[in-house]
A and B are shown apart, each in its own frame.
Chain A
Amino acid sequence: EDQVTQSPEALRLQEGESSSLNCSYTVSGLRGLFWYRQDPGKGPEFLFTLYSAGEEKEKERLKATLTKKESFLHITAPKPEDSATYLCAVQPRERDDKIIFGKGTRLHILP
């Protein structure tokens, strides 16, 4: 069964303290892996798409990486405005209409 597991569930960091969020996936062939940011009471905001192992994407203080079994979202020197829930989702190669989401990691950056 296709599955996405994110860890940790929640993470509190001091401003400037770098860390990584993990997304482990089980899928019968990967078409794409997506990262989203979601603020409370709002819809998810698209961040990155990764297609193949070894690929990396960057945006400001965020960098997403991909291996054959997991993806990491690295956050460097975070600021309080980076506080949000970060969602990971996968799209199987055989079912381009199917997107499976993880439960997310709630990130809180303390000033």
Chain B
Amino acid sequence: DTGVSQNPRHKITKRGQNVTFRCDPISEHNRLYWYRQTLGQGPEFLTYFQNEAQLEKSRLLSDRFSAERPKGSFSTLEIQRTEQGDSAMYLCASMGTPLREQYFGPGTRLTVT
């Protein structure tokens, strides 16, 4: 499989619980992005990695959010003490060289009850 994969596809959690999502990018791509998307909106940038280095974080990314990309391969996005406002689709995208279009995974739909 040469596409971007994300797990889980759906997550329902109670307010206050922690959740973790995983993204596996296209293997030769060294840039990995996380976005959040709510209904009727385009993807909103959260953070991105160049190999294992996290190079930028959006102001949207509160201190309850943390992302890692150990060894520059897969990435995880963790949300601690979830709130109802965190309910959204979380998208992962990877970008190869030359730095052009991004390829997205299927997303993880988070519902916080």
Contacts and interface: CB of A to CB of B under 8 A. Distances in A.
Given A32-B101, A46-B101, A97-B56, A103 B40 contact: yes
Interface residues of A, number: 23
Given A97-B31, A97-B56, A102-B42, A44 B104 contact: yes
Given A87-B42, A101-B43, A96 B99 contact: yes
A30 to B, nearest CB: 13
Nearest to A9: B40
Given A44-B91, A87-B42, A103-B40, A97 B48 contact: yes
B interface, how many residues as a size bin? 20 to 34
A42 B106 contact: yes
Interface of B: 4, 6, 31, 33, 40-45, 48, 50, 55-56, 89, 91, 93, 99-107, 109
